[in-house]
Homo-oligomer: A and B are copies of this chain.
Amino acid sequence: MEMFTAEIVSIGNELLIGKTVNTNATWLGRKLTLLGYKVRRITVVPDEIEEISSAIREALARDAKVIITTGGLGPTFDDKTSEALAYALNMKWIVNEEALKLVREKYEKMGLELTKHRIKLAKMPEKAKPIPNPAGSAPGILVEKGKSLIIALPGVPREMKEMFEKYVESLLRDRGPKLAFYEDTIIIKGIPESSLAPFIDQVMKKVIKVYIKSHPKGSEGYKPVIELHITSSGKSLEEARKYVEEAKEKIINLVKDKAEILEG
């Protein structure tokens, strides 16, 4: 079976020094999952060509079908994603005429001319295509290498999200596994996680298409509170939902006499 794997490479010192929470990766992880891709890894690297390019090369070596990077596409000295991408792919890093047109139009509207720092926004690996950025100045980058599709998006969440939804999502849907994803949550109060563990084992052995993950949520009084997140994928939403409901029912039957259950 073909595996539709995806990886996210998040670029930016601010993510490593703890200045910025990586909500972009969370948002993209969810989008990719709902499109039926398996997100296998998120790698956060600093604004350095060596580090960015090695993270991309490693994802390529793991045969990721889709690699999405965020950050490092702007005009300042520390925006190095495009150059690092060219380096990782062994491609020339050149001004892309289509991208230059997009960038020129942006700045013309502001009454600004094309400086060195602005032309840099149009430099891309030689076989790349620009992705328009309706909310900002830096175009995104789309480039293929072997069986991998690499998409570089800006780090500003508003720009990244708009570009993904407008230009990337439909492309990934077309190329993707066309699987539906379904999830549900139950809250179980009154048994510790270590007592729930054998029940989870048991249900996952019976309903092999679901994944059940327990998340301890602290306690209320002396009662431990555990959230169970049940997920599944299927050819249709109905199929995925059926697996989740089946697992949910089995869990509830196993614990209902021992605990209080709140359905999500």
Docked-complex contact A17 and B231, CB < 8 angstroms: yes
Q: Which of B17, B21, B45, B55 contacts A23 (CB 8 A)?
A: B21
Q: Identify which of B15, B21, B29, B231 contacts A15 (C-beta below 8 A).
A: B29
How far is A195 from B137 in the complex, measured between Cα atoms in Å?
A: 12
> Smallest distance from the beta carbon of A177 to chain B beta carbons, Å?
15
Q: Give A87-130 as 1s and 0s: 1 = Cβ < 8 Å from B's Cβ atoms.
A: 00000000000000000000100101001011001000000000
**Residues from chain B with Cβ under 8 Å of A200 in the complex:** 76-77
A30-B18, A39-B17, A51-B41 known; A117+B198 contact, CB < 8 A = yes
Q: Which of B33, B51, B214 contacts A18 (CB 8 A)?
A: B33
Partner of A213, one of B13, B29, B193, B213: B13
CB distance from A1 to the nearest CB of B (A): 18
Q: How far is the CA of A200 from the CA of B78 in the complex (A)?
A: 10
Contact code string A209-229 (vs B, CB < 8 Å = 1, else 0): 001011110100000000001
Q: Does A204 contact B (CB under 8 A)?
A: yes
A30 & B17 in contact (Cβ 8 Å cutoff): yes
What 0/1 pattern do residues 22 to 47 of A give for CB contact below 8 A with B?
Answer: 11011111111100000111111111
A19 within 8 A of B: yes
Q: Which residues of B sit under 8 angstroms from A27, Cβ to Cβ?
A: 18
- The answer, among B17, B41, B77, for a CB contact under 8 Å with A16, is B41
| CB proximity of A55 to chain B, nearest CB, Å | 8
In the assembled complex, the CB of A191 is this many whole angstroms from the nearest CB of chain B, namely 10
Which of A21, A31, A46 has most chain B Cβ within 10 Å? A21
Residues of A near any B CB (own CB < 8 A)? 10, 12-23, 25-33, 39-47, 51, 55, 58, 74-78, 107, 110, 112, 115, 117-118, 121, 136-137, 156, 158, 192-198, 200-201, 204, 211, 213-216, 218, 229, 231
CB-CB nearest 3 A-B residue pairs: A18-B30, A18-B29, A42-B44
Cβ contacts A to B, 26 pairs, < 8 Å: A10-B42, A14-B213, A16-B39, A16-B40, A16-B41, A17-B30, A17-B39, A18-B25, A18-B27, A18-B31, A20-B215, A21-B22, A21-B23, A41-B43, A41-B45, A41-B51, A42-B43, A43-B43, A74-B216, A75-B193, A77-B204, A112-B195, A115-B195, A118-B194, A137-B192, A137-B194
- What 12 additional pairs, Cβ within 8 angstroms, besides A18-B29, A18-B39? A18-B31, A19-B30, A22-B22, A22-B25, A40-B46, A40-B51, A76-B193, A76-B200, A77-B204, A110-B192, A112-B192, A136-B216
